[in-house]
Structure 1
């Protein structure tokens, strides 16, 4: 097997090294491992996990003694006639999946078949590659392939060992919550929150959110995971749900429905209405006086006329007093449950 290491000298800084390789190799194949990226010029090289500096290798890039190393990969050497080569990195919902059926020394194959959990995925054919454009969690399982060798191979159908493929969840189904309550009072402010979270390994991706009520869209594909109802009313009662989706909409998930019931404000009933008090006596208007009329006493005739007018107004005042008394007695008999007994 050939191993080459390409180094770039005179770099200003240490950058992540990318170690490119094939996940599964054949013993008779010629493969190249390449270590790319600017590195230090003092000591540079490609390392194996047997060296002291890299014994603490993890699944992520790491740094030891001033050097920065790429994450490790798994190299499997097989002596089988066929192997199934799958992805060498984690695969998530929405990713493409490509499987290769590799033959010993790349000898020609015919009637190649790919299987998932023992079931054929397609009829026999010449293609050594099988792909799924957008994988889902249901695509997880054990895969293998088989094929018939042509000359110079054995000439019989050979089968590769199964390979486990696990499709990881990109984000869980969202949950819609109403804050502070799903049963607000009329006039209260309500915030609808569509809660979910991307996998840490795909945290750089972005989700878009949509909100629905009773089958009608309220907000479509926005970056905000919240929807505000500034002032709730009875018309805001109903069934709500939300949807979270990737920007390419290859992966989208809906939340369970959430019932929101806006509570109407309590109004006083007829029994709670305070009883009405009977009207009080009407106050007769004050009798005018000579002072009010600004009359000069120098004219005896005019003064006599005013005095006669004042006397008549006093009489009217007395009559009004009797009328008020009669009205008060009449209101008593007009109350519910009281009837007046006629005099015999």
Structure 2
């Protein structure tokens, strides 16, 4: 496939750049190479500092490799990542930096409730001191030797532009460096639920009423599970169930009141409540109402 050929060509080019950078370091010496390359693009930085192995963890369908014309390919997004018998993973974006110091963030989308780990990575993993992490230009703490910064449970408010700074301990004299900023966007795991009543929020007594707590997980987290609770007038009527519905088989005037629901993750890290919904159950018509047509 043409896609496979392009990927192979990009891999060969990356390996060539890596070999060229390593040869330059061997000929000039580590610190000499830093001065030599300072001010020009050093494309092999990420690969030389921390070369990663990419693995496809799902079953792979193999076919004879070949290259095809562009009109033989369809958009993977429209084909469910399947092209002529091939199954593709979700795209993975690899960014090769040319800086002496980079901030490594998560490769996958970050949702509220997730842990967030950022790493201040130096060229060739040289030792650093006085490492400081920043969000939107403000320091997140005093300088320290730890290269990692973590947030156990992120919220949407943790979104921002992060970067780090540090001082190289060796080789040579201490040299302060600052990494380029990386945008971290914490996405909403699910919107606040909406409570709806079927058939109506003003049902007739004696009939059934179903309360539905409506929200939706994103496609990337569609396998996650939410638990739902229902409340009436400040009291729990059903706590932490997998069903997003609460049924009243036979409504009576006693069921009238102010209802709301709550959706939460199984670990209780993310929870959200719906706005209140007033339920008013109407009683049976009186004989006077039937005769006069005036009902109070």
Provide the TM-score with structure 2 as the length reference. Answer: 0.73
Partner of 2:51: 31
Partner of 2:19: none
Q: How many residues align?
A: 248
Partner of 1:128: 147
**Residue 235, structure 1, aligned to residue 260, structure 2:** no
Counterpart-to-counterpart distance in 1, 2:87 and 2:162: 35
Counterpart-to-counterpart distance in 2, 1:60 and 1:136: 34
Aligned counterparts, 1:64-75, within 5 A: 64-75=83-94
- What's the secondary structure of 2:49's corresponding residue? coil
Q: Is the 8 A contact 2:74 2:83 kept in 1?
A: no
Counterpart-to-counterpart distance in 1, 2:109 and 2:123: 26
Counterpart-to-counterpart distance in 1, 2:258 and 2:62: 65
Q: Is the 8 A contact 1:93 1:135 kept in 2?
A: yes
Q: Deviations over 1:281-321 (max 9, x none)?
A: xxxxxxxxxxxxxxxxxxxxxxxxxxxxxxxxxxxxxxxxx
Q: 1:194 aligns with which of 182, 190, 213?
A: 213
Task: Tell me how far 1:43 sits from its aligned partner.
Answer: 4.5
Q: 2:171 aligns with which of 145, 152, 155?
A: 152
Q: Is the 8 A contact 1:212 1:242 kept in 2?
A: yes
Determine which structure has greater relative contact order: mean sequence separation of CA pairs < 8 Å that are 6+ residues apart, divided by chain length: 2
Distance change (3 Å), C-alpha of 1:41 and 1:127: same
- Judge which range, 61-70 or 234-243, deviates more: 61-70
Q: Higher helix share goes to which structure?
A: 2
- What's the secondary structure of 1:79's corresponding residue? coil
Q: Is the 8 A contact 1:58 1:72 kept in 2?
A: no
Partner of 1:222: 241
Query: Gaps spanning 5+ residues in structure 2: where?
Result: 1-13, 17-43
Aligned counterparts, 1:176-215, within 5 A: 176-215=195-234
Counterpart-to-counterpart distance in 1, 2:62 and 2:258: 65
Task: Tell me how far 1:178 sits from its aligned partner.
Answer: 1.1
Query: Gaps spanning 5+ residues in structure 1: where?
Result: 4-23, 274-344
Aligned counterparts, 1:50-61, within 5 A: none
